[in-house]
Amino acid sequence: MNTANISSPGLYAETLAKGAIPADHVHPDSLKGIPRRQTNPARWNGEGWDAFVGALRAKNVEVREKKQTCLVYATDCGGLAYGRPHGVTLAGSAEQISAILKEAQKRRVPVTVKGGGLTTEGESVAFGGLQLDMRGMNRVISVDGKNMTVRAQAGIHWHTLAEALRRDGLDYLSAPLNLTASVGGTLGVGGIDINSPRLGPSADQAVSLQVVTPTGEIRECSESENPELFERVLLGYGQFGVITEAVLRVRKFTPITMYYFYYGSLRDALQDLQLLVREDAADYCGILTILDKAINLLVAFDSDEREHAFFEKWRNRIRGHGEPGFALRMAWHYGLRPWRLGEALYLLGRKRALEPAFKPGQYMENGKIVDRAVVFGNQVWKFWGGRQMVIPDLAVNAEKFVEAIERGNAVCRKYFPRYTLYCVGIKLSGRRQRYELSCVPPDAVDFAYGCEFEPLLGDAIYSREYLQTFKNEIYDIGVDMKTSYYRFGGMMKGYIRRAFGDELVDKHLAMKRAADPAMILNPDVIF
């Protein structure tokens, strides 16, 4: 029986209860033609919890159950999904996590893993059961300068890893723009940065992993050892194991030189970004917009040679303006529209605050940024963070990029007076299994492109329904254009079947059930 044909939630539940269809938490979005208001999952009923905790404490695993402690974990950085675990454990070792998952399988207790907590759709929020906080495993284990790798525990934040590598004159390859994310969490979802156009997602920098499977086995995996597990865990959204340690490729540390090119046309900027990505014309590139009036193409370089080559070959081929030229154009634009003076002043103020923040004097030397880890890690949260982080996104192939982003931009304009877009390219490493059900669109070849659509909420208060309706319109573009999403699950998991189809989702659901018989590991993320 195809569940996609069941047209009401009540009928779906009734049919499920009769056993006519298998239990499947990734059910189709049945409210056809009705604006969907996503809700939090139901809280786990707690059956078997006391026996579970007793068994863990007998193995010297600490579980904290005080309400005050559990409420610390009530939400994630999105600030829209709220839940409360029955208890919390701070991760200490692979052996400890193994003991937890073995008991969880036996007693069917859900375990939700949290790293940096930068999810925005409730993916790291526990709706009952155990919250496993990976931040207790935050050490660099070894640095191998000869083979250019580092082995670190998965709960370490990227900025901490960067600081440790810097002592040996090394740096990470590709990491998320917000460096307060954890390494393990990032590998599980991809990891996109302004150097992803050259180096790919963070997940593709992994050489090997230590993983605790949902049934509690501790296994090493790589492309040559347990390759199936390696491919499932990377970009697996926490469904196929808990990453406890990772060996990552690193490189020599280099200061970077950064330039900004300004556009009045979003389409021109998107096309120029694709040109730079396709031609490998820069070491870093991405787009940050302020509304759709001030579009900034950021271009940066690790070496003087790459910088000189860009200005000799590519600068004249992109249509962005330097700051003086763009300022004149903006002055002309708003001079003819004096009723928009408030918007002009906002754009000017935002620019004056942003640029110095991304080139702070204490982290500059001879015009180069000498500590991008600190600069990006601090400033991204300062300018884009807040009480609520509403960041729906789309991940598309090269051909669909411009249309998808223009459509998403129109949705932003419809709902909010102030918003920003963040667009990057993603170099792909062939057609790996790990890309199948992930932020990498199924039809992308060589490169994919992603965009986050983020309203600048400030102190304004919006209802949860209003924000969810906005997100739904963005996600609906993905369904319509058959793309993917970077924030892939949690409150928006109802879109997964609609975007990818039953065949692919059922394939991964079968793998999940085989790997996690009790379906206890991160149960409210995707499956």
> Over the stretch 170-200, which tens digit does the pLDDT of each residue have?
999 988 877 788 999 999 999 888 889 999 9
Same domain, 261 and 319: yes
As a whole number of angstroms, the distance between CA 426 and CA 440 comes to: 9
C-alpha to C-alpha distance for 527 and 514, rounded to whole angstroms? 13
113 and 167 in a single domain? The answer is no
Asked if 472 and 366 sit in the same domain, the reply is yes
What confidence score (pLDDT) does residue 388 get? 73
Instruction: Compute the distance between CA of residue 117 and CA of residue 76 in angstroms, rounded to an integer.
Output: 5
| 348 and 434, same domain (yes or no) | yes
Contacts of 448 (CB under 8 A, 6+ apart): 395, 396, 397, 398, 425, 426, 428, 439, 440, 441
Identify the domain boundary among 192, 225, 252. 252
Tell me the one-letter amino acid at 333. Answer: H
Q: Are residues 331 and 479 in the same domain?
A: yes
Do 484 and 506 fall within a single domain? no
Report residues of the chain scoring pLDDT below 70. Answer: 1-39, 327, 372-387
Instruction: Report the CATH number that the domain containing residue 467 is assigned in CATH.
Output: 3.40.462
pTM of the full structure? 0.88
Q: Indicate whether 458 belongs to any domain.
A: yes
Q: Which two tokens stand for residue 4?
A: 């996609």
Could you report the per-residue pLDDT of 372-398, keeping only the tens digit for each?
Answer: 666 666 666 566 656 677 899 999 999
- Whole-number pLDDT of residue 381: 59
Domain around 488: 257-492
356's tokens: 């110095």
In a domain, 527, yes or no: no
80 and 149 within one domain: no
Same domain? 227 vs 372: no
Give the end of a domain, one of 208, 223, 252.
Answer: 252
- Report if residue 212 sits inside a domain: yes
**CA-closest candidate to residue 198, choices 227, 232, 173:** 173
Bridge partners (DSSP) listed for residue 256: 369
Domain membership of residue 523 (yes or no) is no
Write down which residue in 252, 286, 308 finishes a domain. 252
Residue 497 belongs to some domain of the structure: no
H helix runs in 212-362, sequence order: 227-233, 266-278, 304-313, 323-335, 341-358
The CATH code of the domain that includes 89 is: 3.30.43.10
Q: Across the strands, what pairs with 448?
A: 397, 426
What is the per-residue pLDDT for 291?
Answer: 74
Query: DSSP readout, 420-479?
Result: EEEEEEEE--SS-GGGTTSSS-TT-BSEEEEEEEEE--TT----HHHHHHHHHHHHHHHH
**What is the tally of structural domains in the chain?**
3
> Is-contact 521 214, C-beta < 8 A?
yes
Q: Tokens representing 392?
A: 């729906």
pLDDT attached to residue 39: 61
Evaluate whether residue 49 is within a structural domain.
Answer: yes
Report the first-to-last Cα separation within the chain, whole angstroms: 19
* 282 and 295 housed in the same domain: yes
The predicted pLDDT at position 9 comes to 36
Question: Taking a C-beta distance cutoff of 8 angstroms, is the pair 441, 304 a contact?
Answer: no
In terms of domains, do 125 and 59 share one? yes
Cβ neighbours of residue 442 under 8 Å, at least 6 residues apart?
A: 436, 482, 484, 500, 504
The C-alpha angle 315, 321, 327, rounded to 5 degrees, equals 160
| 445 falls within a domain | yes
Going by DSSP bridges, is the β-strand pair 130-133/111-114 parallel, antiparallel, or unpaired? Answer: parallel
Strand partners, 246: 152, 209
What sign does the dihedral 504-507-513-516 (CA atoms) show? negative
Task: State whether 74 and 167 are in the same domain.
Answer: no
Tell me: the pLDDT tens digits for 112-167?
A: 999 988 888 999 999 999 999 999 999 999 999 999 999 999 999 998 999 999 99
- Read off the CATH number of the domain in which 244 is found: 3.30.465.10
Question: Does a structural domain hold residue 522?
Answer: no
319 and 283 housed in the same domain: yes
